[in-house]
């Protein structure tokens, strides 16, 4: 993980209004500053709901801290009659660095498939932002021992059509569905097994340079206590954090690993 700049991303999901978002980001900035966090050593990004992005932007812009921010989803369309959708260019204009695409909750509750996720990843890249492309197996697949195949196929499909350079500058998040929001975290060995397999798949399908450069995160019930052993794995380049990212101290403690 040393060759790549680690990334710790906090997915707030559908929590916090714009005022609460301000409080959380201010506190996070304060704690990271207090701990003298080195942002060149480990990138930190928050991923609030769309309605909080502007508030987060005003705090982060005015701060010496280099906290980045991103969105939880993006439209596959560029503009037009798509009520309720948010385009990649709108997010880029707001200063977003990242967009989470293909989160398991969107795959499960909104029927998103790999092809749609790949289009969203492409739109994100074309707008100058970095997609965080999520993959991960459910419990049945894990029990059947088919998790590696499941995840490598998801990466193939969810990054389909991207060039080696585009894959290299993307982020992949391995998030086993059975670990998301359940308190059940994968072992460091489980995380490493799949992250390594995903990197090897990138080498096979795109290029070995893309595999060297692409950052692969683990996500699923990461807490300050479990983060260090997982993030110390050679093919794990950081974490995508849900629940624990809503607490500034806990999230900052995860960020402080590096």
Annotated binding site for substrate: 11-13, 181, 221, 242-243
Q: Which string of DSSP letters, residue by residue, matches 243-256?
A: GGGGSHHHHHHHHT
Q: Is 193 a catalytic residue?
A: no
List 7, 8, 11, 125, residue binding ligand PEP (CB under 6 A):
11
Catalytic member of 112, 175, 193, 250: 175
Q: How far is the CB of 83 from ligand PEP (least distance, A)?
A: 26
DSSP 98-137: EEEES-HHHHHHS---HHHHHHHHHHHHHTT-EEEEEE--
Residue positions forming the annotated binding site? 11-13, 181, 221, 242-243
| Residue number with CB closer to ligand PEP (118 or 254) | 254
Residue 136 engages ligand PEP in binding (rule: CB under 6 A): no
Residues 177-206 that bind ligand PEP (CB under 6 A): 180-181
Interatomic CA distance for residues 199 and 80, integer angstroms: 37
Q: Is 220 in the site for ligand PEP (CB under 6 A)?
A: yes
Task: State yes or no: residue 221 binds ligand PEP (CB under 6 A).
Answer: yes
Q: Do the beta carbons of residue 234 and residue 193 sit within 8 Å?
A: no
For this structure, is 18 an active site residue? Answer: no
Q: Cβ(240)–Cβ(221) under 8 Å?
A: no
Nearest approach, Cβ of 248 to ligand PEP (angstroms)?
15
| Selected range binding ligand PEP among 51-59, 69-77, 203-211, 241-249, rule: CB under 6 A | 241-249
* 25 Cβ contact list (under 8 Å, min separation 6): 46, 55, 56, 59, 60, 67
Choose one: 135-143, 154-162, 196-204, 242-250; the region binding ligand PEP (CB under 6 A): 242-250
DSSP lists the bridge partners of residue 219 as: 240
Helix (H) or strand (E) run with residue 152 in it: helix 147-158
DSSP 182: T
| Residue numbers at the binding site for ligand PEP (CB under 6 A) | 11, 175, 180-181, 219-222, 240-244
Residues involved in catalysis:
103, 175
């Amino acid at each position: 993980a040393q060759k790549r700049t680690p990334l710790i991303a906090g997915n707030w999901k559908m929590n916090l209004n714009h005022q609460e978002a301000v409080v959380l980001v201010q506190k996070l900035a304060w704690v990271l500053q207090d701990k003298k966090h080195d942002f060149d050593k480990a990138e930190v990004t928050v991923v609030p709901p769309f309605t909080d992005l502007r508030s987060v932007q005003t705090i982060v812009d005015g701060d010496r801290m280099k906290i980045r921010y991103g969105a939880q989803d993006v439209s596959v369309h560029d503009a037009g009659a798509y009520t309720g959708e948010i385009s990649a260019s709108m997010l880029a204009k707001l200063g977003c660095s990242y967009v989470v695409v293909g989160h398991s909750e969107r795959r499960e509750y909104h029927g998103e498939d790999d092809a749609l996720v790949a289009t969203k990843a492409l739109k994100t890249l074309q707008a100058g932002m970095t997609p965080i492309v999520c993959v991960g197996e459910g419990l049945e697949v894990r029990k059947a021992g088919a998790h590696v195949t499941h995840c490598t196929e998801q990466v193939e499909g969810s990054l389909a059509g991207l060039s080696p350079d585009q894959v290299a500058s993307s982020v992949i998040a391995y998030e086993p569905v059975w670990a998301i929001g359940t308190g059940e975290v994968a072992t460091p060995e489980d995380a490493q097994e799949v992250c390594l397999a995903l990197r090897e798949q990138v080498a096979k399908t795109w290029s070995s340079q893309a595999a060297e450069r692409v950052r692969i995160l683990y996500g699923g019930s990461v807490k300050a206590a479990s983060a260090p052993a997982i993030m110390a794995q050679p093919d794990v380049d950081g974490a995508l954090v849900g629940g624990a990212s809503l607490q500034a101290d806990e999230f900052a403690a995860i960020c402080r690993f590096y």
